[in-house]
Amino acid sequence: MTSRQTLIVGDIQGCYKGLRQLLDKCEFESSRDQLIAVGDLVARGEDSLATVEYLMSLNGSFRTVLGNHDLHLLSVIEGIKAPNPKDNLDNLLASSRLAEISYWLRRFPLAMKLDAQHTVVHAGLFPLWSTSQLLALSDEVSQALSSTRYLELLNNMYANEPQNWRESLDGFARLRFIINACTRMRFLSTDYRLNVAEKGKPSAAPPHLKPWFELDNEHLGGHEKIIFGHWAALTGVTDKKQVIGLDTGYVWGNTMSAYRVETGEIIAVSAG
Ligand SMILES: [Mn+2]
pLDDT tens for residues 132-144?
999 999 999 999 9
Is residue 272 over pLDDT 90?
Answer: no
Q: Is 199 exposed, middle or buried (0-12, 13-18, 19+ CB in 10 A)?
A: middle
- The answer to whether 9 and 246 have CB atoms below 8 angstroms apart is yes
For the chain, how far is it from start to end, CA to CA, in angstroms?
26
**pLDDT for 237-254, tens place per residue?**
999 999 999 999 999 999
Considering the chain, what is the average pLDDT of its residues? 96
Distance 167 CA to ligand 1 centre (A): 25
pLDDT at site 2:
77
**pLDDT for 254-264, tens place per residue?**
999 999 999 99
Distance 85 CA to ligand 1 centre (A): 16
**pLDDT for 68-121, tens place per residue?**
999 999 999 999 999 999 999 999 999 999 999 999 999 999 999 999 999 999
Distance 122 CA to ligand 1 centre (A): 7
**pLDDT for 52-74, tens place per residue?**
999 999 999 999 999 999 999 99
Distance 183 CA to ligand 1 centre (A): 6
Is residue 155 over pLDDT 90?
Answer: yes
Q: Is 262 exposed, middle or buried (0-12, 13-18, 19+ CB in 10 A)?
A: exposed
Distance 68 CA to ligand 1 centre (A): 5
Mean pLDDT of 222-232: 97
Distance 232 CA to ligand 1 centre (A): 9
Alpha-carbon gap, residue 136 to 69, rounded angstroms? 22
Read off the pLDDT band of 1 (50, 70, 90). low
Reply yes or no on domain 6-270 having CATH 3.40.50.300.
no
Query: Do you find a cis peptide bond into 85, omega within 30 degrees of 0?
Result: no
Q: SS3 of 143, please?
A: helix
Distance 67 CA to ligand 1 centre (A): 5
Distance 37 CA to ligand 1 centre (A): 12
Return phi, psi of residue 91, to 5°.
Answer: -65, -35
Return phi, psi of residue 143, to 5°.
Answer: -60, -40
Distance 229 CA to ligand 1 centre (A): 7
Q: SS3 of 252, please?
A: helix
Q: Which residues contact 265 (CB under 8 A, 6 or more apart)?
A: 259
Distance 2 CA to ligand 1 centre (A): 33
Distance 123 CA to ligand 1 centre (A): 7
Q: Is 222 exposed, middle or buried (0-12, 13-18, 19+ CB in 10 A)?
A: exposed
